[in-house]
Each structure stands twice: as structure tokens, then as C-alpha cells.
Amino acid sequence: MQKQNRSLAVVLMNLFIAFLGIGLVIPVIPTIMNELDLSGSVVGNMVAAFALMQLIVSPIAGRWVDRFGRKRMIVIGLIIFGISEFLFGVGKTVEVLFISRMLGGVSAAFIMPAVTAFIADITTLQTRPKALGYMSAAISTGFIIGPGVGGFLAEISTRAPFFFAAGLALFAAILSIITLKEPERNTEQVVVAGQKAGIKRIFTPLYFIAFMIILISSFGLAAFESLFSLFVDHKFSFTPRDIAIMITGGAIVGAIFQVAFFDRLMKWMGEIRLIRYSLIVSTVLVLLMTIVSSYFTILLVTITVFVGFDLMRPAVTTYLSRIAENEQGFVAGMNSMFTSIGNVVGPMIGGILFDLNLNFPFYFATIVLSIGIGLTFAWKEPAHLTAKAM
């Protein structure tokens, strides 16, 4: 048990370092874009390139995790991540920056399934949910701290956050080589009789609206999030430190709401109503971003908009996990797939709209999220689950 806990701690630290590295470069991207005179559509396409490579490579990487081992894939993923950050730090051309982002997507595709499989191997069906909760916390904490660290490192040099991220990744890879041991494969499974097969399950009433909500929310959030730093840089001349404060503040408040209020809100409203009201709040605040002008109101809107998204995403995941019963693997895979699709398409369209008008990506995100709100009013709890609850 002690060895398992130590292995879990190392794996979670690796995830934390990887997402810290992803987060800490966010505040300096506008400065890099201004240095190289790049357009909003190029920035959007670079963000999309990361998500696209992750989407393409993930199924292959999943098979390689089983074939070559969890530890090996984690280490290789961390090394590739380090190389991608170093390339972005030294990159002076668009081509190098795109290669960097694509390698970043490959590294994420290697690390995430390997870490998930590693945790599944060292836990039981009873202890796994708690361990996966720690995994989510490690990712969130990396995102929370990353932009803050990046904003202050940018005071030294705009390229310093990228070199720092590369060094962290190398440190994590070396630590994993030394301390991690390939786990024994966990054969504990739930045997399901007569389980359906095939991609057609996506379109069943049980899942379809939930999957569309995931797609729409990730689509709208990616369109907003990927252009936010450029938006406040161009419109309000915010510094990397200003951007870091806003993103970090939003992440911290979102994390507090997840830890302190999510469970209570779930019991009070239920998943569908919580998702609906979270979408409404996020949609209104995204639109308000185009209207507010003072530093305080921008800070308030930015911090609050992330609360809606931070409550909505775990609510959808909890709902899917509850209704899936014996199809947990299927819904987890579809959750990841629809999130990746939204993360690819959202920044691409947002970047094109940004070049037309600074406010257009936010108008676009508002329209997309409004469609999601409409879907939630047509969303009903499955009858057999309602009967169970009674």
C-alpha cells in the first residue's frame, strides 16, 4: 500500500508539472504574438493544432500504453513535452511554433492515457474514484498556479516561462525513471452481459444531449479562452502579469466552488438544472466581456465566468457516470472525444473572427452557448433512473 501511495504521488506530480507547464505560458503568448506580428487566426490555429494532434494520437497512444507499458509512455510523453516547450522558447518563425504546439498535443496524448491506466492498475474499483479525483485536482492545481508563475517569470524574459516549463518536464521525466516501477496489470473488471457495441450509441436519447452539451461547452469555452489573452492585450493593453492575475484568480475561485459548493449544489438542483444555470451564467458573462471597460469589472467578469464552466463540466461527467452504469469506458471516451473536437474547432473559428473584430469571438461563443441552454430545456432525466430515485 505504501509503494502504491508513493507511485500515485509521483504520477500525480508528473501531471501537475505538465499542466503547470501548459498554464504558465498563457500570459506571455500575446507578447510573443506581438513580437512576431501574428494574427488572431494564427493563434487560434496553434491552439487547435495542439488539440487536433491530441485527438489524432490519443487512440494510437492508448494502444501503445498497453503494448509498451505505462511508465515508458509517461516518460516519453514528458520528454516530448519538454522539447515542445523548448522549441516555443527559441522559436522565431510560425513554422517552429506550430511544430512546438503539435508536439505538445502528442505529449498530452501520451501522458493522459498512461497516467489513467497507471492509476487504474494500482487501485481497486473501490479506491479508484478517489484516486481519479486526486488526478483531476492535480490537473486543476497546475492550471491554477501556472499562469501566476508564468506572469512573474515573464518579468525576467518573455521566453523564460517556456524554458522553465521545459526544465520542469525534464526533471519529472528523470524522477519517473528513478522512482516509478511499471505496475502489474489490474484484471479487476465488471463483466457485462449483453452490452451494446458500436458508435451508434452516441445518438441514443440516453446520451445524445449530454454529449452535445460537452461539445458546445468546450467549443464555446475554447473560443473564449484561447483568444482571451489576445483580447485584453489588444483592447486594454494588459501586461502578462495582469493576464496572469485574472486567469489565476478565475481558476482559484472556480476550484473553491468545486470543492466547497459543487456537492451541495448537485444535491439541491440535480445535474441537469445545475448544468442549465451554469450555462446561463457563463453565457451572460461571456457577452459582458464585450461591454465592460474598467480593470475591476473585467477582473470580476473573468473570475466569475470560469465558475460557471468549472461547475458545469464535473456536473456533466457526474451525470454521464451515473446513467452509464455498465458503459463507463464508453462515456469516458466519448467525453474526451467531444471535448477535443470542441477544443479544435472553437479556437480556429474564434481566431478568424478575432481578425475581423475583437468582440466577434465572444459574440460567437455567446450564440453557441445559448444553443446549449436551449438543449438543457429539452433534456429530461431517463425514466428508469427517475423511478429508481423514487
248-304 pLDDT, tens digit per residue, is 777 778 777 777 777 788 788 888 899 999 999 989 999 998 898 888 888 888 888
Inform me whether the pLDDT recorded for 390 exceeds 50.
Answer: no
362, 346, 286, 334: which is closest to 50 by C-alpha?
A: 346
The Cα 372–Cα 220 span in angstroms is: 10
Please state the rounded mean pLDDT for residues 121-129: 68
Please state the rounded mean pLDDT for residues 77-81: 94
Rounded to two decimals, the pTM is 0.68
Question: Comparing 280-289, 328-337, 369-378, which segment has the lowest mean pLDDT?
Answer: 328-337
Q: What is the CA radius of gyration of the chain?
A: 21
Inform me whether the pLDDT recorded for 133 exceeds 80.
Answer: no
The confidence score (pLDDT) of residue 48 equals 76
Please state the rounded mean pLDDT for residues 143-148: 71
- Contact residues for 188 (Cβ-Cβ < 8 A; gap 6+): 124, 125
How is residue 148 written as a grid cell? 501566476
Identity of the residue numbered 47? V
Read off the pLDDT of residues 44-62 as tens digits, 9 standing for 90 and up: 787 778 878 887 887 788 7
- Residue 83 pLDDT grade (very low, low, confident, very high; cuts 50, 70, 90): very high
User: In the chain, pLDDT over 70 holds for what percent of residues?
Assistant: 85
The confidence score (pLDDT) of residue 199 equals 58
Please state the rounded mean pLDDT for residues 94-112: 88
Inform me whether the pLDDT recorded for 28 exceeds 70.
Answer: yes
Read off the pLDDT of residues 5-18 as tens digits, 9 standing for 90 and up: 778 888 888 888 87
The confidence score (pLDDT) of residue 89 equals 87
Q: Which domains does the chain have, with CATH numbers?
A: 1-181 (1.20.1250.20), 199-390 (1.20.1250.20)
Tell me the three state secondary structure of residue 157. Answer: coil
Identity of the residue numbered 160? A
Query: Within a 10 A sphere around the Cβ of 76, how many other Cβ atoms?
Result: 19
Query: In Å, what is the CA distance from 46 to each residue of 42, 77, 161?
Result: 6, 19, 18
Please state the rounded mean pLDDT for residues 203-227: 81
On whether the CB atoms of residues 162 and 88 are closer than 8 A, the answer is yes
